[in-house]
A and B are shown apart, each in its own frame.
Chain A
Amino acid sequence: MVKSYIPSSLGEALAIRAQESVIPYGGGTDLMIEAPDDASYLFVGKIPDIRKIAEEGEIIRIGAACTFTEITESSLAPDLLKEAVSRIGGPAIRNLGTVGGNIGNGSPKADSALIFFVTDSSLRLISNQGERILPVRDFYLGRKQTALRSDELIAEVLMPRTGLENYYYKKIGARNAQAISRVSFAALMNMSGGRIENCAAAFGAVSDVVIRRNDIDAMLTGKTIAEARALKASYLEQYDRAIVPITGRISAEYRKAVCMNLLRDFLESNGI
Chain B
Amino acid sequence: MKFTLNGNGVEYTGALNARLLDVLRDEYRLTGVKCACKEGECGACSVIMDGRLINSCMVAMGRAAGSDIVTIEGYSKTDRFAVLDNAYASVSAVQCGYCIPGMILASECILAKNPHPTEDEIREGISGNLCRCTGYNAIVHAIQIASKEGSGLW
Q: A43-B65, A90-B128, A91-B127 are in contact. Are A178 and B41 (CB under 8 A)?
A: yes
Q: B63 to nearest A CB, angstroms? A: 6
Contact B128 A178 (CB under 8 A): yes
**Once the chains bind, are A92 and B63 in contact (CB under 8 Å)?**
no
B89 within 8 A of A: no
Total number of A residues with any Cβ neighbor in B under 8 Å: 30
Number of interface residues of B (CB under 8 A): 31
Give the shortest distance, in Å, between B17 (CB) and chain A (any CB). Answer: 5
Contact (Cβ within 8 A) A96 B54: yes
Judge if B55 is at the interface, Cβ distance under 8 Å: yes
> Within 8 Å of chain B (Cβ to Cβ): is A28?
yes
Q: Are B63 and A90 in contact (CB under 8 A)?
A: no
Contacts between chains A and B (CB distance < 8 A), count: 101
Q: Which residue of A lies closest to B57 (CB)?
A: A32
Contact B129 A4 (CB under 8 A): no
Q: Do B54 and A95 have beta carbons less than 8 Å apart?
A: yes
Q: Of the candidates A39, A41, A96, which one forms a contact with B58 in the assembled complex, judged by CB atoms under 8 Å apart? A: A96
Chain B residues 55-69 with CB under 8 Å of chain A are 55, 57-60, 62-63, 65-66
Chain A residues 44-96 with CB under 8 Å of chain B are 45-46, 69, 89-93, 95-96
CA distance A249 to B54 in the complex (A): 28
Say yes or no for A231: interface residue by CB 8 A criterion.
Answer: no
* A28 surroundings in chain B (CB, below 8 A): 58-60, 63
- Interface residues, chain B, with chain A CB atoms under 8 Å away: 1, 15-17, 19, 39-41, 43, 46, 49, 52-55, 57-60, 62-63, 65-66, 106, 109, 124-125, 127-130
Chain A residues packing against B (C-beta within 8 Å): 2, 4-6, 25, 27-29, 31-33, 35, 37, 39-41, 43, 45-46, 69, 89-93, 95-96, 176-178
Q: List 9 A-B contacts (CB under 8 A).
A: A28-B58, A32-B19, A33-B40, A35-B19, A43-B62, A46-B65, A91-B124, A92-B43, A178-B127
